[in-house]
Amino acid sequence: MDRLYVIGRDEVPQRITLGAGESLRATFVFPSRVDSALDLTVDLTGPGAELDLAGIFVCADAETVDIRMNVRHLAGGCKSNQLFRGVADGRSNVRFDGLVYVAPDAQKTEAHQSCNSLLLNEGARVQTDPQLEIYADDVICSHGAAIGYLSADEMFYMRSRGIPEEEARRLQIMSFLSPVLSRLPESAYSLIGFQR
Amino acid sequence: MDEKLVDITSKQYKEGFVTDVEQEYVPKGLSEQIIRQISAIKQEPQWLLEFRLDAFRKWQKMTPPTWGHLKLPEIDFQDIIYYAAPKKDADRPKEIDPKLQETFDKLGIPISEREVLAGVKSKVAVDAVFDSVSVTTTFRKALAEKGIIFCSFSEAVREHPELVRKYLATVVPSGDNFYAALNSAVFSDGSFCYIPKGVKCPMDLSSYFRINASGTGQFERTLIVADEGSQVSYMEGCTAPMRDEHQLHAAVVEIVVEAGADVRYSTVQNWYPGDDQGRGGILNLVTKRGICKGEGSHLSWTQVETGSAITWKYPSTILKGDNSASEFYSVALTNNYQQADTGTKMIHLGRNTKSRIISKGISAGHSQNSYRGLVRMNPGAAGARNYSQCDSLLIGSLCGAHTFPVIQNSCPKAIVEHEATTSKISEDQLFYCNQRGIPPEEAVGLIVNGYAKEVLQRLPMEFAIEAQKLLSVSLEGSIG
Amino acid sequence: MIMNEVLLDIKGLHASVEGKEILHGVDLQIRRGEVHAVMGPNGAGKSTLSAVLTGRPGYEVTAGSVSFAGRDLLAMTPEERSWAGLFLSFQYPIEIPGVSMTNFLKAAVQARRKAAGLPELSAAEFLALIKQKMALLKMKPEFAKREVNVGFSGGEKKRGEIFQMAMLDPVLSILDETDSGLDVDALKIVAEGVNSLKTPQTSAIIITHYHKLLEYIVPDVVHVLKEGRIVRTGGRELADRIEAEGFEGIDG
C-alpha cells in the first residue's frame, strides 16, 4: 500500500495495524498556514510487517503543527522507518513527539526514526521528543533529530554562482526537504507553498 | 548466546562490608524538631536553620516526581534516620578513629597525607564523608597557601559563612524538586570548595562518600565555586555496605563557574546495587547542577554509574555566559534488577554557547536503563550548538534500554543535533574474542570497556582504572 | 609429542546453518608438521568448515566427529579450542572499538596461560613478547596501540591476524581466505610471517580459492571441497591443475 494523506483534507486513521507480511508506505503532508495535528499509533503485530512512513511540514505563518507518533513493534522480525522533515518560519510552533516501542520478545526488530527541522525565524519554535523504549535485545534501533538553520556556506556558494538570495533560500529548503519531498506528487507541492 | 544466558550472577560487591564503630544518631523521622536538632548539633547560624525550615515547608507541600522510567519502592520518610555520625573520641579529637582510617584504607581512599607524599598514591586531596559527617580533609594547608578552600560543608559554614551564604542554593533552589527540597531541609555534610581568581588548583580534589549506618539516609551537599579564570578537577566516589533494605541517598551538588574558569567534575558511582534478586541497594536520587555564569566558562561532567538499586540523576548545566561550554560524558551500567534513569540538561542562554552529550548505556540481567535529556536553545542563544550521541547496548533479552531526549529550539541561529542507537552486544565480537581464548565473561567486559572508552578516557587516570575494573565486575553473572 | 602423529581427525562431518545442510560428510586428517590447502569454488562450504572447527555460534553439527590432539573438539567451547592451540585467521576480522590490540592480546595471552596453569606474564614480560613478535613480522610499534581492526585497511587486517597468530603460538592455524583483498606485496609479507612461524610440531590449513597464496606457502596436501564434500585430494600439483583448468573438471 502506498498512501498520501493531507492533514485536514483527508480522513487520517488514528490507529493502523500491520499484521504478518503486511506493509504500508504512507506520507503525511501538513499544509502551510493552518494548524494541523497528527496522532497516530501503528502496531506491527506479525513477523515481516513493514512500515515506511514520512511526513513534511512547511510552517510559514503562526500555525501550530503537533505530531504524535507511536510505532509499536509488538512482534519480532518487523521493520519500521519514519522520516520527518519540516520548516518553521514566522511565529509557528512545531511539536514532534515520536515513540518507538519494542515489546519484550520482539526480536530481530529494525526501527529507525529521523526528524529534522529548520528554524527560520526568531518567533518560531520547534520541540522534538524522539523516544526509544526497548525491551528486546536483538534489535537495531536508532533515532536522529536535529533542529538548525540554513547553511551560510551553501547560500554563499549559490549566490556566487549568480543565484539570487530568495531563490537560493528556496533551493536550500527544497534540498533539505527532498528526502520527503521526493515522495510527493507534484500536485501536492502547492500545499506546502512550493509552486511548480 | 541466548541459551547460554543464565543469571548465576555472582556479583562481587567488594565494598559491601560494615564498619563497627560507635555512632550517635538523631531519632528516626522527619519534623521541624529533627531539623532543629540537626542544625543544633552542627552549631549552625540562624540563617541556615531558617533556610532548612523554609525548605522543609516547601517539601511538605511537594510530591515525589513520577516521570522517571522507574519503579520506585514507596519510601517512608518517617522511617529514616536523618543524622548519624561516628562518636568523637574525646581523648584524641584531632585524630581519625583508627576504625575509620581502616575503612578508607580498605576502600583504597588516601586519607593520610603521608602515604600520598611518599608517592604511594597519586596526589589528590580528599574529603572523606562517613554517613552524616566529614571525618577528614587532606592537604588543606597546602591548598590554603594558594587561597583554595577545600573543607567539609559544616566547616565552611563556620569558617566562611559569607561564601556559603552567597552561593548556597543559587544553582539548585531549595524548592527545585522534591528530593532537592528534602536535602535542603536535612543535609548533613559534604564538601565545599572555593578556587580563587586565577588560581589553577595544583592537585585533584575529591570527596568520598561512605554510607555505613543502617536505617539511615545520606543527604550530602556539595558546593563548588570556581572564581574567574580558575581551574579545578574534582572527583567523587561512593560506596555502601550490603544490606537487604533500601537506603536513601538524596544529595545536592551545586557548581558555580565564573568567567574564564574551568571545572571538571567526575563521578564514579558505586553505591551498593542490591543483590541478584533486587533486594536492598541504595536509592540514589540526586540533583546536580552547574552554572557557567561568566564569559568563556567551562564545566565538564563525567560520570560512571554502576551502583545503586535506583539511580535518578541528571547533572545539568546552565550556559549563561557567552561563549561558555559544557560537556556531559556518561556511562551507566545496570545489571540484575537495577534501574537507572539518568542523563543531563543543557540550557543554552548565552551566545555561542556549546554543549556536547555522550551517553553510553549498558543494560544486562533484568535491569532497566534510560537516558533522559533536555537540550534547550533560548531565543538569545545565537550561534549556540549542541551535539548529542546516546548509545545503548543490551546484554540479554530480559533487560530494557530507553532513550527520552527532549530538544527545544527557539533560536534560529542555534543548531541542535541528537542521535541515538540501540543494539545488542555483537555476537561476532564475542566469538572473535572467544576464538582468541578470551572467555565469554571477560570478553563482555573487554567489549563493554571498549564501548565506553570515549567516556572513560575523560576520567583522571586513577579513576579511569577503577572505573574499568568496576564495569567488568558489575557485569559478572550477566552471561553464563 | 611425536611427529607425524595425527593432529586433526575429521570424520563424516555434516553441518548446517539455519537448518540448511552445508557440509555433507567431510573427512580430513592432518598430521603434525603438515600444511594442507582446502580449495574450492564459492559456496563450497570452506568457511563453514572453519566456523565449525572453531565453534562459531549459528553452525550446527548434525553428524560426524572431530578429534584434535586426541580430544573431542566438538565438545569444547570456542575459548577452550583456542587454549588447545586452534587459531583461526578470520576471513573478515571483527572490529572491536575502544579496545587496543595490546589490551586485547593481553587478555588472550593471560587467559591461555591461566588455562594452562601458568602464572600470568608481568607487564614487562608481555611487552617484551609483543615487541619480539612485532619485530618478527616487521610491524610498526604503533600497530599495538591501535584499536582492534578499527580503521584497518584490508591488508592491515590480515597482517593483524597473522600477528595475533604469532602471539598465540597455535598448534593448528586455519587461514580462511587470508589472501582475499591482498595485493602481491601484502601477500608476500603474510606468507613470510606464516612460514616463519612454522615448526615440525605445528600444522596449518590454508583455505583459499586462488592458487596465488600457495606459491608462497607450499602445501603438503591439497584438498578440493565442492558442494560440501572433499571431492579430490592430492599433492601441490593439484593446485597447479586448478590454476590451469578451474574447478569445473574436478570431481570425485
Q: DSSP for B88-154?
A: P-TT-TTSPPHHHHHHHHHTT----HHHHHTTSS-SEEEEEEETTEEEEETTHHHHHTTT-EEEEHH
Minimal Cβ distance to A131: which of B400, B403, B409: B403
Residue whose C-alpha cell reads 596453569 in the numeric block: C117
pLDDT surpassing 50 at residue C68: yes
B452 and C CB contact within 8 Å: yes
Q: Using one digit for the tens of pLDDT, what is the confidence trace for A57-86? A: 999 999 999 999 999 999 999 999 999 999
Chain pair A-B, CB pairs under 8 angstroms: 114
Best residue in B371, B410, B478, B479 for a mutation probing chain A (most A CBs within 10 Å): B410
CB contact (8 A) between residue A126 and residue B408: yes
pLDDT surpassing 50 at residue B3: no
pLDDT band for B16, please (50, 70, 90 cuts): confident
pLDDT surpassing 60 at residue C138: yes
ipTM metric: 0.88
> Measuring CA to CA, which residue among C55, C75, C83 is closest to residue C168?
C83
> Measuring CA to CA, which residue among A184, C98, C193 is closest to residue B457?
C98
Element (H, E) at B418: strand B415-424
Asked if residue B412 lies in contact with residue A124, where contact means CB atoms within 8 angstroms, the answer is yes
Instruction: Tell me how far CA of residue C9 lies from CA of A69, C27, C70, C177, in angstroms.
Output: 59, 8, 9, 22
Q: What is the sign of the dihedral through the CA atoms of C158, C161, C165 and C166?
A: positive
Asked if residue B270 lies in contact with residue B240, where contact means CB atoms within 8 angstroms, the answer is no
CB contact (8 A) between residue B436 and residue C168: yes
- Asked if C touches A (at least 3 Cβ pairs < 8 angstroms), the answer reads no
Nearest residue of A to residue B382, measured between CA atoms? A122
Contacts 24+ apart (CB under 8 A), B118-122: B121/B462, B122/B204, B122/B461, B122/B462
Q: What is the DSSP letter of B218?
A: B
CB contact (8 A) between residue C87 and residue B435: yes
pLDDT for the residue numbered C183: 82
Best residue in B348, B363, B390, B409 for a mutation probing chain A (most A CBs within 10 Å): B409
Instruction: Tell me how far CA of residue A53 lies from CA of A23, A35, B56, in angstroms.
Output: 11, 21, 50
> Measuring CA to CA, which residue among C219, C218, C207 is closest to residue C176?
C207
CB contact (8 A) between residue B434 and residue C79: yes
Find the helix packing angle between C123-136 and C154-168, rounded to 10°: 130
Asked if residue B127 lies in contact with residue B154, where contact means CB atoms within 8 angstroms, the answer is no
According to DSSP, the residues that pair with B306 across neighbouring strands are none
pLDDT for the residue numbered B116: 61
Q: Using one digit for the tens of pLDDT, what is the confidence trace for B111-122? A: 766 666 555 556
Nearest CA-CA distance, residue C240 and chain B, Å: 32
- Higher pLDDT, residue B196 or C185: B196
Chains near B (3 or more Cβ pairs under 8 Å): A, C
pLDDT for the residue numbered C21: 94
pLDDT surpassing 70 at residue A123: yes
β-strand pairing of B204-210 with B124-130: parallel
Minimal Cβ distance to A136: which of B397, B402, B416: B397
Q: Which three cell numbers stand for residue B283?
A: 536509592
Q: Which residues of B57-89 are buried (b: 16+ CB within 10 A; e: fewer)?
A: ebbeeeeeeeebbbebeebeeeebbbbbbbeee
Best residue in B433, B447, B459, B471 for a mutation probing chain C (most C CBs within 10 Å): B433
Residues 415 to 434 of B: which have CB under 8 A from any C CB?
426-429, 431-434
Q: In this structure, how many other beta carbons lie within 10 angstroms of the beta carbon of residue C97?
A: 15
pLDDT for the residue numbered B121: 57
Q: Which three cell numbers stand for residue C249?
A: 573438471
Q: Which residues in chain B have their CB less than 8 angstroms from residue C104's CB?
A: 433, 436, 438, 446
Q: Using one digit for the tens of pLDDT, what is the confidence trace for B252-294? A: 999 999 999 999 999 988 888 888 888 888 899 999 999 999 9
Minimal Cβ distance to C78: which of B435, B446, B453: B435
Residues of B with CB under 8 A from a CB of A: 69, 377, 379, 392, 394-424
> Measuring CA to CA, which residue among B81, B137, B149 is closest to residue B104?
B137
Q: What are phi and psi of A156, to 5 degrees?
A: -65, -40
Which residues fall within 8 angstroms of residue B359, CB to CB, at 6 or more apart?
Answer: B328, B329, B330, B332, B343, B344, B371, B373, B388, B389, B390, B391
Q: Which residues in chain C have their CB less than 8 angstroms from residue B442's CB?
A: 107, 111
Q: Which of A187-191, B418-422, C79-83, C115-119 has the lowest mean pLDDT?
A: A187-191
What is the rounded average pLDDT of the residues A181-194?
Answer: 88
CB contact (8 A) between residue B402 and residue A133: yes
> Measuring CA to CA, which residue among C48, C28, C149 is closest to residue C92?
C149
> Measuring CA to CA, which residue among A163, A92, A164 is closest to residue A121?
A92
Pairwise CA distance, residues C147 & C94, whole Å? 11
pLDDT band for B6, please (50, 70, 90 cuts): very low
Pairwise CA distance, residues C109 & C115, whole Å? 10
Q: In this structure, how many other beta carbons lie within 10 angstroms of the beta carbon of residue B6?
A: 11
Three-class SS state of C236: helix
Q: Which of A119-123, B432-436, C178-182, C192-196 has the lowest mean pLDDT?
A: C178-182
According to DSSP, the residues that pair with B386 across neighbouring strands are B355, B416
Pairwise CA distance, residues A69 & B9, whole Å? 38
> Measuring CA to CA, which residue among A190, A69, A187, A186 is closest to residue A132?
A69
What is the rounded average pLDDT of the residues B427-439?
Answer: 94
Q: In this structure, how many other beta carbons lie within 10 angstroms of the beta carbon of residue C153?
A: 11
Nearest CA-CA distance, residue A56 and chain B, Å: 18
Minimal Cβ distance to B446: which of C99, C112, C115: C99
Q: Using one digit for the tens of pLDDT, what is the confidence trace for A15-24? A: 999 999 999 9
Q: Which residues of B280-304 are buried (b: 16+ CB within 10 A; e: fewer)?
A: bbbbbbbbbbbbbbbbbbbbbbbbb
Nearest residue of C to residue B438, measured between CA atoms? C108
Q: Using one digit for the tens of pLDDT, what is the confidence trace for B152-183? A: 898 899 999 999 999 999 999 999 999 999 99
CB contact (8 A) between residue B420 and residue A144: yes
CB contact (8 A) between residue B417 and residue A119: no
